[in-house]
């Protein structure tokens, strides 16, 4: 089983508590659960050897899904059979700086993604992309003519997502993504220190389960909605995104351009709809 959490010592303080008492700080030290952050390299296997495409900081677990979802975002992959082989090679755990690697072999007719120049951090999935203009390309109908989202389903999917975050409940240090139907049913959820990794794990699960495109499905995020999250949803053919946090200006603009339903700042009784409000049915 992947190790997703570990423990580190902390000093717990209270507001207004005296801190100058000699020896007191030693008694206030305790261990606390923290999320594991480790590098993962995605490498393309070729007859000449393995070429590293990108190294990302992630929380271990569902690494093959992460790799598959990254391929969807980078190449527009739709068919899992375009991946002829994929495996996780685990680094020596005695070396904390060692890098786990997912090696990927693609079919002869499958375009290979371009290699990135440096490490992608846990905060940004497109930081090392060479070119943002045209980075998003969308040729999938995300919604069928009868698709709609009820206001009740917005609140339901976010509530369900909060119930499926065991690592967050222990550490408070990860994002979560989920796949849901428009009636408010969450099908699956994944956690990761990087919001883009969490989204990739969800999309990768869909690819490996032969569920792409995700027409009439919602990508649910615990994080803010940035451009990269919209781009991943479009590449997967999602109908929309629902998130706990807010959306950026570029995320809203791209969602509106492509007709993606977009809602954020979802709280128990309020939400903001940024794009395709015509798809919302209040109840």
Domains of the chain: 149-281 (3.40.140.10)
What local confidence, expressed as pLDDT, does residue 180 receive? 98
What local confidence, expressed as pLDDT, does residue 12 receive? 80
Neighbours of 109 (CB within 10 A): 6
Which residue is it, tokens 């082989």?
A: 85
What local confidence, expressed as pLDDT, does residue 19 receive? 61
CA distance 104 to 109: 15
Q: What is the pTM of this model?
A: 0.89
What local confidence, expressed as pLDDT, does residue 237 receive? 96
Q: Is 68 left (phi over 0), alpha (psi -120 to 50) or beta?
A: alpha
Between strands 240-243 and 261-264, the pairing is parallel
Question: What are the beta bridge partners of residue 56?
Answer: 40, 120
Question: What are the beta bridge partners of residue 217?
Answer: 181
283 residues of the chain, pLDDT tens digit each = 889 999 999 988 777 766 655 555 556 788 999 999 999 999 999 888 899 999 999 999 999 999 999 999 999 999 999 999 999 998 776 555 568 999 999 998 888 888 875 456 555 555 545 444 444 455 667 999 999 999 999 999 999 999 999 999 999 999 999 999 999 999 999 999 999 999 999 999 999 999 999 999 999 999 999 999 999 999 999 999 999 999 999 999 999 999 999 999 999 999 999 999 999 998 7
What local confidence, expressed as pLDDT, does residue 47 receive? 86
Catalytic residues: 124
CA 234 to chain centre: 14
What local confidence, expressed as pLDDT, does residue 136 receive? 47
What local confidence, expressed as pLDDT, does residue 227 receive? 96
CA distance 179 to 65: 14
Kind plus residue range of the DSSP H or E element containing 91: none
Q: For residues 270 and 234, is the Cβ–Cβ distance under 8 A?
A: no
CA distance 179 to 119: 27
């Amino acid at each position: 089983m992947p190790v997703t959490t570990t423990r580190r010592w902390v000093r717990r303080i209270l507001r207004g508590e005296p801190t100058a008492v000699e020896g007191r700080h030693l008694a206030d030290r305790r261990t606390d659960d923290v999320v594991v952050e480790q590098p993962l390299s995605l490498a393309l296997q070729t007859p000449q050897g393995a070429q590293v495409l990108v190294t990302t900081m992630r929380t271990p677990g569902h690494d093959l899904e992460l790799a598959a979802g990254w391929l969807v975002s980078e190449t527009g992959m739709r068919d899992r059979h375009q991946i002829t082989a994929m495996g996780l090679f685990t680094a020596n755990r005695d070396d904390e700086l060692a890098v786990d690697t997912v090696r990927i072999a693609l079919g002869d007719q499958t375009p290979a993604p371009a290699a990135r120049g440096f490490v992608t951090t846990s905060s940004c999935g497109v930081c090392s992309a060479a070119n943002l203009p045209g980075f998003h390309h969308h040729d999938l109908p995300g919604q069928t003519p009868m698709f709609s989202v009820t206001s009740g389903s917005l609140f339901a999917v976010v509530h369900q997502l909060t119930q499926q975050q065991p690592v967050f409940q222990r550490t408070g240090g990860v994002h979560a993504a989920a796949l849901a139907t428009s009636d408010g049913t969450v099908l699956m959820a994944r956690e990761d220190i990087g919001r883009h990794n969490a989204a990739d794990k969800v999309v990768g699960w869909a690819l490996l389960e032969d569920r792409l495109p995700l027409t009439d499905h919602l990508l649910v995020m615990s994080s803010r909605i940035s451009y990269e999250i919209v781009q991943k949803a479009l590449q997967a053919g999602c109908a929309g995104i629902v998130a706990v946090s807010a959306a950026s200006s570029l995320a809203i603009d791209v969602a509106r351009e492509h007709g993606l339903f977009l809602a954020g700042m979802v709280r128990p009784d309020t939400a903001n709809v940024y794009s395709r409000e015509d798809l919302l049915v209040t109840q």
